[in-house]
Amino acid sequence: MQSGKILFAEQDGNYVLKFVGDVRLTLCSTLDQFLEQMLHNEGFKTVIIDLTETEGIDSTSLGLLAKISVKMKQQHQLRPTIVSTNDDISRILLSMGFDKVFILIKEAVQQETQLKELSVMQASEEQVRSKVLDAHRTLMELNEHNRESFRDLVRSLESD
């Protein structure tokens, strides 16, 4: 598996985020900072998250994606779109209940826009722990299955 990277493009408030390779918690601070900037952009309209080249994705990254959906619903009454052509990734999304908070598309979308890579942000161990905890709390809010799945992890992180 190739190590992960996140590509992005923006045009007129319309964003594309493309996850490539194995996207893990090492990118959580980078992704979280970008999401905050994106969602606070006054011209923000929507985001498409392209997972067609994603080989693996961890629960922290999924929690940050869930955060996009929660914030978009609160701020814009919209659901973001996820494109996934990989059956394994799609199965993970469905198991997390993402079909209830995202528009899921199984066909690749043509992209005319040139994507740029997000620069990886270095974060302290405490900052990463905080992002991991926040991401898993967000996942737990989506449904009972996630609450059960991540309860012990969240308790452990809270007690550290």
Domain spanning 5-159: which CATH class is it, in words?
Answer: alpha beta
At 19, give phi and psi (nearest 5°).
-95, 125
Q: What is the pLDDT along the chain (160 residues), one digit of tens a residue?
A: 568 899 999 999 999 999 999 998 888 888 899 999 998 999 999 999 999 999 999 999 999 999 999 999 998 889 999 999 999 999 999 999 999 999 999 988 776 678 898 888 888 888 888 989 999 999 999 999 999 999 999 999 888 7
Rounded Cα gap, residues 48 and 53, in angstroms: 14
Q: How far is CA 87 from CA 68, 92, 105, 134, in A?
A: 22, 9, 12, 27
pTM score: 0.88
